[in-house]
Amino acid sequence: MTSLPGSGGSFTVQSIPVTLTATMPHCAQHYRLEYSGSGTSGTYSGSDCKMDAFNMSISNGSMAVGDTINVTLQLPPNACG
């Protein structure tokens, strides 16, 4: 399991599937995570006013242990009505 800093970053794949854990600012209603590397890419996005963290598993046939993956986490300002 890989914990992301606030805005994401690059890391080496240690096992498949890759599990990402991101800590969300409280009440971030819309978030978008983009990942790319080693022939794979994708996005994970959604909105949940009550979610402070999420886990994401990435599994792709072209991804292998030792590959480098780049992850970008985009979050808006906190916004809970």
- Rounded to two decimals, the pTM is 0.54
The ranges assigned to domains in the chain are 2-74
Topology (CATH) of 2-74: Immunoglobulin-like (2.60.40)
Determine the pLDDT at residue 1. 44
CB neighbour list of residue 71: distance below 8 Å, 6 or more residues apart: 4, 8, 9, 10, 11, 20, 33, 34, 35
pLDDT tens digit sequence for 1-51? 455 555 667 778 888 777 766 666 555 556 666 777 766 666 666 555 444
